[in-house]
Amino acid sequence: MLKVNDINVYYGSIHAVKGISFDVNKGEIVTLIGANGAGKSTILNSVAGLLKTRTGSIEFEGQSILGTAPHLIVSKGLAMCPEGRRIFLQMSVEENLEMGGYTRKNQEAEQSLINVYDRFPRLKERRKQQAGTLSGGEQQMLAIGRALMSRPSLLMLDEPSMGLAPILVDQIFAIIKELNESGTTILLVEQNARMALSVADRGYVLETGRIVSSASASVLLNDDAVRKAYLGG
Amino acid sequence: MKKVKKLRKSTRSSLITYGLVILFFVIVQVMMITGNLSSSLRGQLVPIAAYIVMAVSLNLTVGILGELSLGHAGFMSIGAFAGVIVSTSLENQIANAPLRLAVSMLVGGILAAVVGVIVGVPALRLRGDYLAIVTLAFGEIIKNVINILYVGYDSSGLSLSLKSANALGLEEGGKVVLNGPMGAVGISRISTVTAGFVLIIVTLFIVLNLMHSRSGRAIMAVRDNRIAAESVGISITKYKLMAFVISAALAGLAGSLYALNFSTVVAKKFDFNTSILVLVFVVLGGIGNIRGSIIAAAVLTVLPELLRQFNDYRMLLYAIILILVMIATNNEKIKNLINRVTLMLDLKTKNDPKKGGAA
Amino acid sequence: MDFIAYLISGISLGSVYAIIALGYTMVYGIAKMLNFAHGDVIMIGGYVSFVATANLDLPPAVSIMIAVAVCTTLGIVIEKLAYKPLRAAPSLAVLITAIGVSYFLQNAALLIWSSNPKSYTSLFKFEPLKLLDGELTIASVTIVTVITGVIVMTTLSLIINKTKIGKAMRAVSEDKDAAQLMGIGVNKTITITFAIGSGLAAIAGVLLASAYPILTPTMGAMPGIKAFTAAVFGGIGSIPGAMLGGILLGVIEILGRAYISTQLSDAIVFSVLIIVLLVKPTGLLGKKISEKV
């Protein structure tokens, strides 16, 4: 479904992503794990079109999306829920969701809104509230709900557990699992490698802009090197 | 090792700047003596000098301090009118014109510095666009206030009024120095090209030394990262204010020089457009680049003259050149192209110090 | 009674400032730039409606529509040619470019219409309103200006808060990247913002020229600067702030001129602005922006 081949990304003169290749198949949860600064978010931002990829290729559903403007990538069915949630704090909950469905026809968007409210009743309760007044967990739900509004076939999630209390982290990962079961393919970037691998089918381990190993999630969970470096022994 | 090299580099750069100004001055002097300078160009020499000082001093605020000021002409205005008043009042006491010019400019500079403190203390609490708008507002206020100021001089000294010249109640033989919206009239033109040259050198001396001093580095640290600078204990307000006040004082000096080059001068001359003009010099010359400010101020003051053959279209052309230069120097694609070329050229020379730094 | 008359003309002038300030504040909110050429678009609006009425003998309504159409197009063209190439450039570079555009418009107007002031005939020729047995007279242009101001502000509020494109504008102004991830085309949104702002400038130009019926190529500069300070006064980026700031500024200016000093009215306006900014640095209705580390 998503095929990333040998991409190189630079921040000015800093070579942040060095010849990375990976792919995501339909129906999977794939996770990219690695330390802070390993280049995980950079990869997602490049796929989403926010960052320029200098060389390499990115294909989504068999079509090249390299160099496509980010707002056009969304309408192809590839949505991203960015790091730090980035919800529109000064807009209401419902307006945030409406923005999520920006690319779609009004009727379709309305149907999506009903679906999102079904999945997150909490958001329905607070629909008129300003998004900035929500709690951290609610904001993350809103961010995910907003990304779902475009009915993506592939959803990229960047650090969805960041800054959340453990009980909320569990909840978010349960939601991710549910989403996947209902047919959404997921590419997940996480610092919380244990949680990520526990829901994922496959994982890639990144170190300073390179992929150092890739395997099924259960293999990675039991890999000594991975355990030592990312799972706390 | 690296430090020594850096210092040397900055000293060399300063010397080139001084050299450039001296060379330019010598050429102008030679051309004047041999009579090769057109009269319209000769008349522009003092304004050019004043604008160079304005640009260099504004670069201290914009380039070094990293704050946008849109009211720099206000300080020029203060210096201009203070200078004119002092010069006219001392006409009998100090017969020597260069000395009187020096005293007038000094008073103009000091007064502008005082106003710089008054404006700077509150304004520098603000940042970015808000600081810009406050300096703009101050510039307009200064213009408005000078516009209603009437100052006269007679044997009993200076007198001041906000109503009219008649309200000054001057004695027989007294002189109206500042006549409200009519501005300052009957100024004795004591500014000279040499004075302009000296002022530029003094300005460069102050600004370049400040840039390369401890306080200068502190100021730039504040510019590059306020929060980080604060956490290592650099007092932001102190350094910002220092740079801002020096910048204002130099603008005041430039104002005195400028005004004493003409027989009349009005407050409207130092309005928002003049502030913008000086800002254009700074930006086109390169923000933080002192030599660039000098060249840009000189070239852009002469450019409208040179474009005179295009007559009606010259200001239009000037505008188009300004826009094109900004796009050419700031567009990402064009900039990347330039960066890549310089990167290739730099690659060889940069390799060695990089290794040294890592070890 | 004088006071009420002054107040009304202050509100009228303030409505014009508010309409101009809306253009500044919308563009600032979305493109994060100070469009210094905005004041000169007002001037173009004034001249175009002048040509349409005086030279082409068109009815007032048509002349206003032409002015709006020309300015809207002009705004889009300026944005495409001058500002769009500088989207990633430092704000100072964009500011200087905007100044270049401002010079360009002023000098283009100078070439087309010469520096001789043109006297503008107000488009609003009906009888002034006489109230309280003729003790209070309100000029027709004042009435039209205030009504237009109310209509413009209500319509714009509706667009910004209720329509899809208006919400997209708010989303872009809050977080450009996140907006793109929603599928919102940032460039298109910025273009629309410029179009709306410039169309409003045309309306302001007609109102301004009707109230102060002398046209010169630099006529837009001062109202532009004042409206910009009005936008900052109310809190730049805030739509209600621009409205409030504009009206307050107009009232302060007229009252200052009437009761304190004619020549110092601008100084008073700017002093009030400075005081407000020092007390509340983000303007009256501005939101606090936390500094990024």
> Bridge partners of C214?
C119
Q: Which of C164, C182, C190 is the best residue to mutate to test the A interface, defined by the most A CB atoms within 10 Å of its own CB?
A: C182
| pLDDT classification of C291: cutoffs 50, 70, 90 | very low
Residues from chain C that touch B126, judged by Cβ atoms under 8 A, are: 277-278, 281
For residue B320, pLDDT over 90 is answered with: no
Residue C90 touches partner A, C-beta closer than 8 Å? no
Q: Quote the minimal CA–CA distance from B191 to chain C in Å.
A: 31
Shortest CB distance from A99 goes to which of C167, C177, C185? C167
Report helix angle B193-212 to B2-33, nearest 10: 170
Average pLDDT, chain B: 83
pLDDT at B95: 84
The arithmetic mean of pLDDT across residues C216-221, rounded, is 92
CA-CA distance, B290 to B287, in Å (whole number)? 8
pLDDT at C292: 33
C104 and B323: CB-CB below 8 Å? yes
Residues from chain C that touch A150, judged by Cβ atoms under 8 A, are: 182-183
Same domain, A157 and A231: yes
3-state secondary structure of B209: helix
For residue B311, pLDDT over 50 is answered with: yes
Q: Which of C27, C107, C272 is the best residue to mutate to test the B interface, defined by the most B CB atoms within 10 Å of its own CB?
A: C107
Confirm if C120 and C210 have CB atoms less than 8 A apart. yes
pLDDT at B55: 96
pLDDT at C134: 73
A87 and C184: CB-CB below 8 Å? no
pLDDT at B358: 37
pLDDT at C166: 94
For residue B16, pLDDT over 60 is answered with: yes
Shortest CB distance from C182 goes to which of A69, A72, A102? A102
- CATH number for B159: 1.10.3470
For residue B8, pLDDT over 70 is answered with: no
Same domain, A3 and A54: yes
Residue A133 touches partner C, C-beta closer than 8 Å? no
Residues from chain C that touch B327, judged by Cβ atoms under 8 A, are: 82, 85-86, 97
Q: What are phi and psi of B68, to 5 degrees?
A: -90, 125
Please write the tens of the pLDDT for every residue from B115-171: 999 988 888 877 666 788 888 889 999 999 999 899 988 877 788 888 887 878 777
Q: Quote the minimal CA–CA distance from B103 to chain C in Å.
A: 30
More confident residue, A197 or B336: A197
Tally C-beta pairs within 8 A across B and C. Answer: 121
Interface partners of chain C (CB pairs < 8 Å, 3 or more) are A, B
Residue-range definition of the domain harbouring residue B105: 2-358
Please write the tens of the pLDDT for every residue from C136-171: 788 888 989 999 999 999 999 999 999 999 999 999
pLDDT at B353: 45
Same domain, A2 and A31: yes
B315 and C107: CB-CB below 8 Å? yes
| pLDDT classification of B261: cutoffs 50, 70, 90 | very high
Taking CA atoms, what residue in A is nearest to C183? A71
For residue B299, pLDDT over 60 is answered with: yes
State the total domains in chain B.
1
For residue B3, pLDDT over 60 is answered with: no
Interface partners of chain A (CB pairs < 8 Å, 3 or more) are C
Residue C278 touches partner A, C-beta closer than 8 Å? no
For residue C255, pLDDT over 70 is answered with: yes
Taking CA atoms, what residue in A is nearest to C288? A90
- CATH number for A55: 3.40.50.300
Q: Where are the alpha helices (DSSP H) in chain B?
A: 2-33, 39-43, 45-59, 72-89, 97-123, 128-147, 193-212, 214-224, 226-231, 236-259, 272-285, 290-306, 314-330, 332-358
Residue A160 touches partner C, C-beta closer than 8 Å? no
Would C265 be classed as within a structural domain?
Answer: no
For residue C205, pLDDT over 90 is answered with: yes
Same domain, A99 and A120: yes
CA-CA distance, C197 to C204, in Å (whole number)? 10
The arithmetic mean of pLDDT across residues C262-271, rounded, is 87
Residues from chain C that touch A105, judged by Cβ atoms under 8 A, are: none
Residues from chain B that touch C34, judged by Cβ atoms under 8 A, are: 129
Would C180 be classed as within a structural domain?
Answer: yes
Residue B279 touches partner C, C-beta closer than 8 Å? yes
| pLDDT classification of B232: cutoffs 50, 70, 90 | low
The number of C-alpha atoms within 13 Å of B23 and in the hemisphere containing its C-beta is 7
Per DSSP, B69 falls in state: -
Question: Averaging pLDDT over each range in B20-29, B58-67, B277-286, C48-57, which range is the top one?
Answer: C48-57
Please write the tens of the pLDDT for every residue from B82-106: 999 999 888 888 888 899 999 999 9
Taking CA atoms, what residue in A is nearest to C180? A71
Residues from chain C that touch A95, judged by Cβ atoms under 8 A, are: 167, 170
State the total domains in chain A.
2
Residue-range definition of the domain harbouring residue C28: 2-9+16-224
Residue C160 touches partner A, C-beta closer than 8 Å? no
Residue A25 touches partner C, C-beta closer than 8 Å? no
Percent of chain A with pLDDT over 70: 100
CA-CA distance, A32 to A40, in Å (whole number)? 6
Residues from chain C that touch B284, judged by Cβ atoms under 8 A, are: 96
| pLDDT classification of C287: cutoffs 50, 70, 90 | low
| Token output for B60 | 């201290």
C270 and B141: CB-CB below 8 Å? yes
Residue A39 touches partner C, C-beta closer than 8 Å? no
Report the range of poorest mean pLDDT among A59-73, A210-224, B276-290. Answer: B276-290
Complex prediction ipTM:
0.91
3-state secondary structure string across chain C:
CHHHHHHHHHHHHHHHHHHHHHHHHHHHHHHCCCCCCHHHHHHHHHHHHHHHHHHCCCCHHHHHHHHHHHHHHHHHHHHHHHHHHHCCCCHHHHHHHHHHHHHHHHHHHHHHHCCCCEECCCCCCCCCEEECCCCEEECHHHHHHHHHHHHHHHHHHHHHHHCHHHHHHHHHHHCHHHHHHCCCCHHHHHHHHHHHHHHHHHHHHHHHHHHCCEECCCCCHHHHHHHHHHHHHHCCCCHHHHHHHHHHHHHHHHHHHHHCCCCCHHHHHHHHHHHHHHHCCCCCCCCCCCCCC
A88 and C183: CB-CB below 8 Å? no
Please write the tens of the pLDDT for every residue from C227-247: 988 988 888 888 889 999 999
Shortest CB distance from C171 goes to which of A48, A82, A99? A99
pLDDT at B7: 57
Please write the tens of the pLDDT for every residue from A158-204: 999 988 899 999 999 999 999 999 999 999 999 889 999 999 999 99
Q: Quote the minimal CA–CA distance from B176 to chain C in Å.
A: 20
Would C246 be classed as within a structural domain?
Answer: no
Please write the tens of the pLDDT for every residue from C46-88: 999 999 998 898 998 999 999 999 999 999 999 999 999 998 8
Q: Which residue has the tokens 């629909």?
A: A127
CA quadruple C272, C274, C276, C282: dihedral positive or negative? positive
CA-CA distance, C201 to C194, in Å (whole number)? 10
Cα-atom radius of gyration of chain C, to the nearest Å? 19
| pLDDT classification of B228: cutoffs 50, 70, 90 | low
Shortest CB distance from C99 goes to which of B137, B280, B313? B280
C281 and B125: CB-CB below 8 Å? yes
Q: Which residue has the tokens 């909110």?
A: C29
More confident residue, B201 or C282: B201
> Bridge partners of B176?
B152
The arithmetic mean of pLDDT across residues B109-120, rounded, is 94
CA-CA distance, B24 to B20, in Å (whole number)? 6
| pLDDT classification of B227: cutoffs 50, 70, 90 | low
Q: Which residue has the tokens 């826009």?
A: B323
Please write the tens of the pLDDT for every residue from A30-87: 999 988 888 899 999 999 999 999 999 999 999 999 989 999 999 999 999 999 999 9
pLDDT at B304: 73
pLDDT at B250: 97
Confirm if B12 and B18 have CB atoms less than 8 A apart. no
Taking CA atoms, what residue in A is nearest to C188? A71
Give Cβ neighbours of residue B205 (< 8 Å, ≥ 6 apart). none
pLDDT at B357: 37
Interface partners of chain B (CB pairs < 8 Å, 3 or more) are C
State the total domains in chain C.
1
Residue-range definition of the domain harbouring residue A71: 1-77+153-161+187-233
Q: Which of B77, B327, B335, B336 is the best residue to mutate to test the C interface, defined by the most C CB atoms within 10 Å of its own CB?
A: B327
Shortest CB distance from A50 goes to which of C164, C177, C183? C177
| pLDDT classification of C10: cutoffs 50, 70, 90 | very high
